[in-house]
A and B are shown apart, each in its own frame.
Chain A
């Protein structure tokens, strides 16, 4: 970049950087031809540039003010069923990355099942809508948004430590492949979170709130993350450990969202199904849950954290029901998994960044709304647990076992919330659990998160209304 360009205002600097990305399709086409000349069955080139901002404020003090930029071109080749993956750090070493990927694909090609690249191609351009694109906004406005959340928590006497984190990212991707796919996509994402610690009489508790989406700073305006996290952390100071064992339970929307992601979502990812690592293998068309349960994965939902128009193979993203009225209807797929499962392509191939090949991943996954109110669900429980907030979860889709951790809960006695409970782990079995859902609420809520698989972390949304489950196992004391 020349000095003159660097001295231009921020907005124009970004435009110049992005222009570097989109000026190069000819080079990418050459790379594709080169790989085809080497005899591969399919080749895909992904050029990616991303910009990031992180501002971390602890107890009102800015501890981190950082920005970064990343650029690479990755090349993925398919040869007789095996994949090779190479990465170039600039156009100059693209040829070497192509040769690497071809060589590695040939090494992988001992794979017994041949994959014929009989896939559709996609062409198009997409950009997330941002009223206030973060890269056009100076640090002052971002700092003010953070300060607002910090101030909300500071007002509470028992709050001991306040952590507010702001992140924005701009990811520009161009994907071209040997079948004619040629697309580009620009996704801007923003996220703000508040982790608040409260303290009283030797007891410390914390609570976490976050908001994120695909778009601009408008997503982060008018939030009450600081307030809400402070309130819940203080409330938890009086909490008791959860009782251990089996209880009828109500899960709040945030926890139910993580529950469906862990309990079911991962087992419905096409690559898990293909590798015999999913308990759902061979179960399409079968009943997997109560008929009041429908589960959707929808990357096309505008503005959510896990939203996109094209996936990281360049395929168009699709909304799909994974479970419809209790019946398993669809797996999530990439190009290869759709071909090998002989099912439709859903556009769920996602990659963390340029140096990772795409895997089958969820996007915005949720339990569709039902017709219960929370009060109706509560009134029918004699003794149970209302579990709230999600810390994290994980699953072993082959065994069909999963766990998810609630930030806290309430003990329910005779249809009333009686006593506040502390963080607790909850375990279940995938094939049993959806049959045990006996009420689904009207109040669908979506919550942003980050999902990890094979070391790759991608932004997702999990969602659900309140749900009631006949019994879940709580790891209390």
Chain B
């Protein structure tokens, strides 16, 4: 109703087109400090964002918890009047037929109580105490149920209920003067996929393993990135580098590479918005356009960017259903779930680790440089691999490579496949320059 009111008032007062994006829901958050629940919260929220156009002038306004849609519609119209024209703005999205998909709404999350959420998090926390050397465990769990509704004067009228959860653990360890720490995280739309004990045990074991550490100097080594170390690297190839806006404006290192070979021809990279229970999945994107699977790199060749409505119209193409936004933002372009498809490179984790000398990276939080496609970052949680065995953890170790070199030199993809954040995939192995203090 709020959205429809906003659209109606904007049109009555002179707008040519109007669109309302509304989100309404509830989030439960539990945070644990030193092994016990410290803060619990339960928040209901409503947000409304309205786009209004006057010819090729676009205005946007939003409000949290508006009592009525009217003010937001009027404010958006006021902004459209004040905005200078944008020659590339060809109007708000035309509706497209949407097929609703399964695997987005978990009734267990929808009806979750704070007590149930707490007990899930506590079971992860308890499981992380794998040794007396674990000195402190902190953690957070968030579970949300929400409904997205998009309504426009062009005829878009879609709504969908979705759920999501995320868990994050931090474990600190101590052995005499040696200090260590680790973390682990998981997310998704279906709570049954969360294995709290396993998550806790992994984080605990890792925090103990990192106590025994060493440093290395400068070497060119096989680097094995576990899936959770890839979350800011592999999805980046699609989300940022193959993002139509970045391509069109010439910001991306892939800007002039469409149709060219940019990866080993055994490698394809796809973005899929319709994987059941993946955090990045939905039946329609944030402009109401149906989601789909887009092949971004096909057998080594850069085949297609991902588009929202604006960037697609600019090139006279169809949106790939990759509009992403919050109620308080205009739609941008973003990936759903990105995976590497390379059956020829598939191998067991054991085979992947079977190198004379290399490093195994469990986590890094660095992102590549969009303009030049180079990655330089800290191997935040990493281990030395010697003769196929994981030996010691590494301190202060950086790694550097270009994304194009990485895509051409990946020589193995593990069968340890998981779905986390915008990534679905197993560990990958390639060569990179590794630099530590020696």
Contact = CB atoms under 8 A, between A and B. Distances in A.
B433 A477 contact: yes
Contacts of A321: none
A475 B62 contact: no
Given A89-B44, A275-B138, A357-B39, A70 B63 contact: yes
Nearest to B31: A454
Q: Which of the listed residues B67, B114, B140, B172 has the most CB atoms from chain A within 10 Å of its own CB?
A: B172
A244 B395 contact: no
A69 B437 CA distance: 50
Interface string B17-37: 000000000000101011011
B372 A204 contact: yes
Contacts of A161: 249-251
Q: Which of the listed residues A101, A139, A399, A426 has the most CB atoms from chain B within 10 Å of its own CB?
A: A399
A62 B82 CA distance: 11
Given A399-B180, A427-B398, A245 B249 contact: no
B41 A279 contact: no
A264 interface: no
Contact of B377 (A86, A400, A475): A475
Interface in A275-320: 275-277, 279
Interface stretch (B84-92, B96-104, B124-132, B189-197): B84-92
Contacts of A87: 41, 43-45
Contacts of A148: none
A10 to B, nearest CB: 9
A197 B36 contact: no
B330 A66 contact: yes
Contacts of B435: 244-245, 473-476
A71 interface: yes
Interface stretch (A23-31, A108-116, A322-330): A108-116
B256 A476 contact: no
A241 to B, nearest CB: 7
A1 B63 CA distance: 15
Given A71-B65, A279-B179, A399-B180, A477 B400 contact: yes
Contacts of B210: 399
A425 B398 contact: yes
Contacts of B402: 477
A383 interface: no
A422 B374 contact: yes
A425 B395 contact: no
Interface in A206-253: 206, 241-242, 244-246
A206 B251 contact: yes
Contacts of B378: 401, 403, 425, 427, 475
Contacts of B42: 86, 100, 104
A67 B172 CA distance: 43
A1 B38 contact: no
Interface string A70-112: 1110000000001111110110000000001101110110111
Contacts of B151: none
A61 interface: yes
B123 interface: no
Nearest to B174: A276
B118 A398 contact: no
Given A62-B86, A84-B39, A84-B41, A69 B63 contact: yes
Contact of A355 (B45, B253, B380, B433): B45
Contacts of A445: none
A166 interface: no
B172 A66 contact: no
B46 interface: yes
A94 to B, nearest CB: 13
Contacts of B63: 68-70
A242 B181 CA distance: 29
Contact of B39 (A68, A108, A112): A108
B41 A86 contact: yes
Given A61-B88, A107-B37, A275-B33, A429 B395 contact: yes
Given A104-B114, A111-B36, A403-B377, A277 B436 contact: no
Interface stretch (B53-61, B154-162, B264-272): B53-61
Contacts of B46: 89
Q: Which of the listed residues A67, A86, A111, A424 has the most CB atoms from chain B within 10 Å of its own CB?
A: A67
A197 B372 contact: no
A416 interface: no
B37 A111 contact: yes
Contact of A58 (B249, B370, B372): B249
A244 B398 contact: yes
Contacts of B114: 103-104, 107
Contacts of B434: 244
B140 A471 contact: no
Contact of A245 (B64, B74, B218): B218
A172 interface: no
A274 B402 CA distance: 40
Nearest to A138: B82
B397 interface: yes
Contacts of A244: 218, 398, 400, 433-435
A139 B81 CA distance: 10
Contacts of B40: 82-85, 104-105, 107-108
Contacts of B253: 204
Nearest to A199: B250
A205 interface: yes
Given A85-B40, A428-B396, 17 more contacts: A67-B79, A84-B41, A86-B41, A86-B42, A87-B45, A89-B65, A110-B36, A160-B249, A206-B370, A274-B34, A398-B136, A399-B210, A403-B380, A422-B374, A423-B369, A474-B398, A475-B378
Closest 9 interchain pairs by CB?
A: A475-B398, A276-B136, A398-B181, A244-B435, A85-B41, A403-B378, A66-B60, A65-B83, A89-B65
25 contacts: A59-B249, A65-B59, A66-B330, A68-B61, A82-B37, A87-B44, A89-B64, A90-B65, A101-B41, A110-B37, A139-B82, A160-B250, A245-B218, A279-B179, A355-B43, A357-B39, A394-B365, A401-B380, A422-B369, A423-B374, A425-B377, A426-B398, A427-B397, A428-B396, A475-B435
Interface of A: 1, 6, 52, 58-59, 61-72, 82-87, 89-90, 100-101, 103-105, 107-108, 110-112, 138-139, 143, 160-161, 197, 199, 202-206, 241-242, 244-246, 271, 274-277, 279, 355, 357, 394, 396, 398-401, 403, 405, 422-429, 454, 471, 473-477
